[in-house]
Chain A
Amino acid sequence: MKNPRPFRIAGASVLLILTSLAMPIMAEQVYVSNEKDNTLSVIDLDSLKVIATIEVGLRPRGITFNKDFSQLYICASDSDSVQVMDVKSQKIIANLPSGEDPEQFALHPNNKDLYIANEDNAVVTVVDTEKREVISQIDVGLEPEGMAVSPDGKWVVNTSETSNMLHWIDSSSHELVDNTLVGQRPRHVEFSDDGKTLWASSEIGGTVSVIDVATRTISHEYSFQIPGVYKDKIQPVGITLTHDNRFAFIALGPANHVAVIDIAQQKVIKYLLVGRRVWHLALNSDETRLISSNGISGDVSVIDVKSLTVLKSIKVGRFPWGVAVKP
């Protein structure tokens, strides 16, 4: 048991050197929202160091960039607003009206309409980010949380944690047209790049459902088993899919692992040990790195996608929640 360890570290560092040699200089930055610190941490993905900490509104959770990465939208849940940060100056330039307690959101491919889940009052708020006004509010189930917009912009999907449903909203009419019942406490939804499938995690059900978008029915369901971890501690939350639809990465919450699914095989091929209570995930632009936010341990883990190994954990603020990468 003594030998493999130094070898593995050497292997990982060799890999690090190789990848950094092979690639052009990338100043990619990881933005992480710290829920209990009211800050964002900015990490340089080359040096893997925190290079800035930015003060934002109260209880920041979901974060997402606009198309050209000039602005970052931040759900400041306890400030009851979505903040707009100018990325260059790192200053908050506007507060969008967002409805009460915004938790997650998704930006429409038109780069204008922002769909916000208002956890406290069972609605989805649609905000025009240019005019900075509310266009519509749509009644959904109890405790709306996850949000996603299909790549073609047609569908907006919201999860409601206590109704255990996915709500399908037609983006042209802003009307709710269908519901799909999934496992207990759906937290997050993610469309595949081709828009044909939708992935949904059920935190308390312990499953991830793959939904056929054409029929809006469940086509496959994944469950997870990690030796030595009780089944009910496996609580899937964040989901990230690679562009080529090869891998799905699932953050398993208090199980402290990220599951790697080979989508073609419909099989979990690896469990990666990360920090405690892993919430959300993001890939960098060329999908060589996966970053997980680990709520309880207050750090993020950086995963090498090629070798499927964890490279490093980086301390950030208290209760890191959302992750977004700027190329």
Chain B
Amino acid sequence: MHLRLHIAILFLASSAPLATALTTEQRNIPVLFLEQSQIDTPVLSNIRKTPQTSGLDGAHVGISDNNTTGRFTGDRYQLSASLVKDSNEAIAAAQAWVESGNTLIVAKLPAATLLKVSRDEHISQKAIIFNISAKDDALRSSQCRPRLLHTIPSRAMLTDGLAQFLISKRWKKWLLLRGQHDEDTLFSAAIKRSAHKFGANIIDEREWQFNADLRRSAQSEIRLFSQSKDYDVTLIADEIGDIGEYIPYNTWLARPAAGTQGLTPTGWHWSIEQWGAAQLQNRFSEYAKRDMNDIDYAGWLAVRAIGEAVTRTKALGGDTVYQYLISDDFQLSAFKGRSLSFRKWNGQLRQPIPLVQPNALISQSPQEGYLHPHSEMDTLGYDRPEVSCAFEASTL
């Protein structure tokens, strides 16, 4: 009865949070959003730019989602955003965060900076870092770090997801076309790994050297560039979108294109509406006034993972939350039709990979028939035997 009286009073006091009605005190859970500003590489095609607020907007929606639940648990989540210029500033910001007694960091940092931050001894003992943007496979295979978790899928997960689909269509002969940037080399390395893993045949690999404006000459240039004996599909490795957009339809043979353009594997896409996803898409577009992308989704996932661990353990961060996150008990429902959890061997969040074209979801991997003793989702990306870093042993 006493409890109910409290509630009545609170309702009179306008729409104050319900939390205090049901719990004795409100608890604050501060989360740092740490971002390093990056200068976009100039591209030949006038593609749509990735919004500057990618990731941050997703994290904000995650905070708001957590706080809706927090009304009943007494938890209040707060996001502090810190924009840094380089790795030194990133380390300083993370150190200051940890020194003031906080542990939770959502990181939108390039791989090199991320590694430096996660290796810093002041930070690594206490912080839990969620990587929401760096897709580098090295971070999941040879350079993984304890307390560094990845909610963005790795390149290997993306290309494995795509490969399963192509193989299930029996499109096994691939012509690999790649750009000149480092990321393109990494993406094509992931494609080659996936081809080997699932039994595709890369008939040729070509790097483009174009510096002409392809918007005007793609019709003739790409035709020659993709001239080859028979292939089933062209695989494009062009992460920044330099010329990849001009490859579909311009190829020598009438074949579909896939990879960073054409049919694209990604962590998230605005066209996903199954499994209740329309709700999340609506909340996001209402908040950010734009479509939700893969980095936004990874930011949302990181904050929601924090929310789940805090709600279930009743701890505010630190070791208890971290141990729960990487335990068998942790489950996250995240609008992909499966329960998501972190891989114990490298801290990667296992998740289905949507395959999209610009205006629709085409499929979602793992494809039917790809089996795994633990989880079908572990057919995507680096599995335990392929990982050389001691993520588990070094968790404590």
Contact = CB atoms under 8 A, between A and B. Distances in A.
A and B: interacting chains: yes
A181 B68 CA distance: 14
A281 to B, nearest CB: 20
Contact of A204 (B4, B311, B331, B376): B331
B4 A165 contact: no
Nearest to A165: B72
A232 B333 contact: no
Given A120-B279, A139-B18, A142-B65, A183 B71 contact: no
Contacts of B331: 183-184, 204-205
B80 interface: no
B333 A206 contact: no
A175 interface: yes
A184 B339 contact: yes
Contacts of A160: 69
A52 to B, nearest CB: 30
B375 A232 contact: yes
B393 interface: no
B276 A161 contact: yes
A163 B22 contact: no
A206 B311 CA distance: 19
A145 to B, nearest CB: 9
Contacts of B339: 184, 204-206, 232
Interface in A161-187: 161-165, 167, 170, 173, 175-179, 181, 183-185
Interface string A25-69: 000000000000000000000000000000000000000000000
B72 A184 contact: no
B271 interface: no
Contacts of A235: 337
A299 interface: no
Interface string B333-374: 100011100000000000000000000000000000000000
Contacts of A230: 375-376
A184 B333 contact: yes
A278 to B, nearest CB: 15
A244 B300 CA distance: 45
Interface string A187-210: 000000000000000011110000
Interface string A134-152: 0000010111000000000
A119 interface: yes
Contact of B312 (A120, A178, A181): A181
A122 interface: yes
Contacts of A203: 333
Given A204-B338, A205-B339, A167 B68 contact: no
Contacts of A161: 276, 333
Interface in B199-252: none
B189 interface: no
Nearest to B332: A184
B3 interface: yes
B4 A143 contact: no
A44 B121 CA distance: 71
Contacts of B22: 178-179
B338 A232 contact: yes
Nearest to B336: A204
Contact of B282 (A120, A139, A164, A173): A120
Contacts of A177: 3-4, 7
Contacts of A205: 331, 333, 339
B279 A143 contact: yes
Contact of A164 (B4, B18, B279, B333): B333
B62 to A, nearest CB: 10
A162 B377 CA distance: 22
Contacts of A139: 15, 18, 71
B72 A163 contact: yes
Contacts of B287: none
12 contacts: A120-B282, A141-B68, A142-B69, A161-B276, A167-B72, A170-B4, A175-B4, A176-B7, A179-B73, A205-B339, A230-B376, A232-B376
Interface of B: 3-4, 7-8, 11, 15, 18, 22, 65, 68-69, 71-73, 276, 279, 282, 308, 311-312, 331-333, 337-339, 375-377
Interface of A: 119-120, 122, 139, 141-143, 160-165, 167, 170, 173, 175-179, 181, 183-185, 203-206, 230, 232, 235, 254
Given A161-B276, A167-B72, A176-B7, 5 more contacts: A119-B279, A120-B282, A141-B71, A181-B312, A204-B339
What are the 5 closest A-B residue pairs judged by CB atoms, nearest first? A204-B333, A163-B69, A184-B333, A185-B333, A204-B339
